[in-house]
């Protein structure tokens, strides 16, 4: 497994992965308060690099429904443009605020990710820059230390859903970076020559470095 590394968000537990190790199947639970509620399985970290909030985000009204019958879990669903969040009646105001923020962030991210057909995009970029096509490409929530990853043996590419709100030319760069890994495993000069076929590679790298706090230069 090779991938684009990024600095873990502040407060996150550094994960012991390397470019060659598969990520853990299960993400650790978020460090935030409410222990009684059940987060959905692919739980994104609650402390992400500042990326999600931008004026281009889809509008979302929120309606909180308190239920005495509901004992411990929070849930959310989209009804038209309204996000209905169901919480147990006993939950504190602080916990409600946490869950409203968390569910809003998850749904916004999903709505932003849905605008892009990744398979179509990857096929287009592979054709344009003469790179291999992936067997599969998909968004993944909860990727904490990198923007994308690639498993050359299976041709599978995964992109962090934290990228979804970024400009298309940045997402295209990450796709090109991972497509290049299908041919060149490491970050060798040959690899960077492949990536350099994408004209905005340097600008996109600068953008990603800025988004991860300016410390990581591995992409």
Instruction: Classify 85 as helix, strand or coil.
Output: strand
Smaller CB separation from Zn ion, 67 or 154: 154
Q: How many helices (H) and strands (E) does the chain have?
A: 5, 7
Smaller CB separation from Zn ion, 113 or 201: 201
CB of 128 to Zn ion, least distance (A): 19
Nearest residue (beta carbon) to Zn ion:
4
CB of 137 to Zn ion, least distance (A): 15
Q: Which residues bind Zn ion (CB under 5 A)?
A: 4
Smaller CB separation from Zn ion, 91 or 163: 163
Q: DSSP states of 25-72 as a string?
A: SSPPPPSSS--SS---SSPPPSS--S-S--TTSPP-EEEEEEESS--S
Smaller CB separation from Zn ion, 102 or 178: 178
Q: How many angstroms separate the CA atoms of 43 and 118, rounded?
A: 21
Check: CB of residue 12 under 8 Å from CB of residue 144.
Answer: yes
φ, ψ at 201 (rounded to 5°):
-60, -50
CB of 178 to Zn ion, least distance (A): 7
CB of 153 to Zn ion, least distance (A): 16
């Amino acid at each position: 497994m090779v991938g684009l590394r990024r600095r873990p968000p502040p407060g996150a537990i550094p994960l012991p992965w390397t470019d060659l190790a598969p990520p853990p199947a299960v993400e650790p639970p978020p460090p935030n308060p409410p222990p009684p509620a059940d987060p959905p399985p692919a739980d994104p970290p609650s402390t992400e690099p500042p990326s999600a909030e931008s004026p281009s985000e889809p509008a979302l009204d929120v309606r909180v429904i308190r239920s005495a019958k509901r004992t411990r879990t929070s849930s959310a669903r989209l009804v038209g443009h309204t996000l209905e969040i169901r919480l147990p009646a006993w939950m504190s105001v602080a916990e409600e605020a946490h869950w409203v923020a968390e569910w809003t962030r998850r749904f916004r991210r999903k709505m932003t990710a849905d605008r892009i057909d990744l398979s179509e995009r990857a096929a287009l970029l592979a054709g344009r820059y003469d790179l291999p096509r992936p067997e599969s490409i998909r968004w993944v929530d909860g990727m904490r230390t990198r923007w994308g990853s690639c498993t050359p043996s299976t041709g599978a590419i995964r992109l962090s859903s934290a990228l979804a709100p970024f400009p298309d030319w940045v997402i295209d760069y990450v796709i090109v970076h991972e497509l290049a890994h299908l041919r060149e495993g490491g970050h060798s000069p040959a690899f960077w020559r492949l990536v350099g076929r994408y004209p905005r590679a340097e600008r996109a790298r600068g953008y990603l470095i800025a988004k991860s706090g300016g410390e990581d230069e591995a992409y």
